[in-house]
A and B are shown apart, each in its own frame.
Chain A
Amino acid sequence: MQLKEIFTKRKKYATIPNENSKIDVPQGLMQKCKNCNKIYYRKEMKKSLNVCPNCGYHHPLSAWERIESLFDEDTFKEWDANITSSNPLNFPEYEEKVLKDCEKTGLNEGVVTGKGMINGQETAFAVMDSYFRMGSMGSVVGEKIARSVENARKESLPFIIFTASGGARMQEGILSLMQMAKTSVAIKRFSDDGGLMISVMTHPTTGGVSASFASIGDYNFAEPGALIGFAGRKVIEQTIREKLPKDFQTSEFLMEHGQLDKIIHRHEMKNLLTTILEMHQKEVN
């Protein structure tokens, strides 16, 4: 034995990862609040719709969690679930990325559309999912939203959208940008026919989504503490060469600058939407 070996502690055995050992430790039983670091049972957090019981921080909801939280049981009918992304620009690695997120989320794209009842009030609906490619908008997201708005117009239903998006999807280039146009034209037709549109911006709603349908509801709402804005914070800081305040581009910041109608706590959402839908009910003769 050499002298230096006396001072190094040698492992006498190797650990072989075992599938059973992974199952033994329950994954995700607990959840830590991103804001206050307090630890909760995941069940408890779920019951609270991912709002921290301690500090009120709104953690993201998946599209289906959101739908379940708002719609009356068994009233939801999904539209166009079978549309999925192609790779129009033959962008390297794009298809793989989309497929991976399909598996991760169980969705075919970053938005779920359909119609259903909120406390007995029927409405058309689009919910974006930030877990799917950051909720970015490509051809499919634009197409599904435009179609659901058209359906709402034809069926004389209100249209509610929950946005959650990092903006346009780079890999579909100009086609992504043009989805801002497509959805806007659809919404204009819907609006001119007297349709009610409610936009609820959730964390995050930025870039092309913020600069199109998210901002043109008859009512523009947001959840507390959501990041909402056109340009990214870093880009702005580099451009104007100054540090931005911590609350820059939050719901509260937008509210203060007159850009929002109201900030709505997730627990109040269903009741408030119900009231608004009731107040806009068209008289049927």
Chain B
Amino acid sequence: MKQILEFEKPIINLKDKIAELKKFTADSEIDLTEEINKLEDRLEQLEDDIYGNLKPWDRVQMARHSERPTTLDYIHQLFTNFIEFHGDRRYGDDQAIVAGIAYYKDKPVTVIGHQRGKDTKENIKRNFGMPHPEGYRKALRHMEQAQKFNRPIITFIDTKGAYPGRAAEERGQSEAIAKNLMEMAGFTVPIVCIVIGEGGSGGALGLGIGDHIHMLENSTYSVISPEGAASILWKDASLAKKAAESMKITANDLKELNVIDQVIPEPKGGAHQDIKVQAEKIDVVLEQSIRELSKYTTDELLEKRWEKYKNIGDYKLL
């Protein structure tokens, strides 16, 4: 059963009607081709209208869509010979983060990403893409290896946030994330981060320090979920829609705030409509990033990374 989002309903209704008329034309003597053509024109216009004017809250729904492609989907589209490696060598193997090596354009790279499931069973296995400390430590282990063997690091960000659980706190969720931020700041290989779904707070940032940060058009990146913000600011989680609008969490917002480098367009109706097309669009941007970043000396790379982050923020002087 395909998940239908609230704002898409007029499109789906019209599509159903067209299908009905087509069936009717096929089954009966009456020819409705003219009406069908008219409706199809209207459908195209309606799609342009709706998908071309998505509100922040619509994009939140899109970013959370159950069929939205995940890290592993993109890995299989973009890379060859992907070999997944497991475990943090300290506690366990967190399935909410996948990591491994692969070829990108015939050169070895390290690939890491949050991994959520598309159905309940897979989501339970993946803990809904919400990592524990061992996930971040697994990621760090692979990034250190990338540094050692001089491979670029590519991360895919797609998480509601780091898991808020007792065991996660006991094993040092804060430290695990903090350590990744600090170490990612210092690796002398290019790091490209791509937000493909939800970029939820510190849990997202734990894989998100890099030289280039890109976001898919309908992904979000925020300090807290809209629901969380609404309940803290206005003591009412149902004001999430309002929070989503106030907090500037869409790819275009972040581009405007100079937090990200590029917005990667999505096919009409979202990434899940055509994963191949989506992967191609990511490929264009990723290749460009890797090519550009590979030109820098390690000193230049680190200096540029510092410049990038140094300039994020807004304040005034008295």
Interface residues of A (CB under 8 A from B): 82-86, 88-89, 91-92, 108, 139-140, 142-143, 146, 168, 170-182, 184-189, 191-192, 207-208, 210-216, 228-232, 235-236, 239-240, 242, 244, 248-249, 257-259
Contact = CB atoms under 8 A, between A and B. Distances in A.
A89 B247 contact: yes
Interface of B: 162-166, 168-175, 177-179, 181-183, 185-186, 201-202, 205-206, 208-209, 221-224, 229, 232-233, 246-249, 253-254, 257, 259, 302, 305-306, 309-310, 312-318
Interface of A is mostly: helix
B254 A239 contact: no
Contacts of B233: 170-171
Nearest to B170: A257
A180 B173 CA distance: 15
B198 to A, nearest CB: 13
B166 A83 contact: no
A231 B248 contact: no
B261 to A, nearest CB: 13
A236 B161 CA distance: 13
A230 B164 contact: yes
12 contacts: A84-B315, A85-B316, A88-B314, A89-B248, A175-B257, A177-B202, A188-B185, A189-B302, A211-B178, A215-B179, A235-B164, A236-B169
A139 B178 contact: no
Nearest to B171: A257
A275 to B, nearest CB: 25
A54 to B, nearest CB: 30
A247 to B, nearest CB: 12
Contacts of B162: 211, 230-231
Nearest to A171: B233
Contact of B166 (A89, A139, A248): A248
Contacts of B223: 168, 170, 172-174, 176-177, 208
Given A146-B310, A168-B223, 5 more contacts: A182-B313, A184-B178, A185-B310, A230-B164, A231-B173
Contact of B186 (A92, A176, A192, A214): A192
B267 to A, nearest CB: 25
A257 B246 CA distance: 39
Given A84-B315, A230-B162, A181 B205 contact: yes
B120 to A, nearest CB: 17
B259 A185 contact: no
A185 B306 contact: yes
Nearest to A236: B164
A175 B175 contact: no
A170 B182 contact: no
A86 B314 CA distance: 7
A258 B185 CA distance: 25
A227 to B, nearest CB: 11
A230 B170 CA distance: 10
A170 B247 CA distance: 8
Given A188-B182, A230-B173, A230-B177, A84 B316 contact: yes
A170 B259 contact: no
Given A175-B259, A211-B178, A236-B165, A143 B315 contact: yes
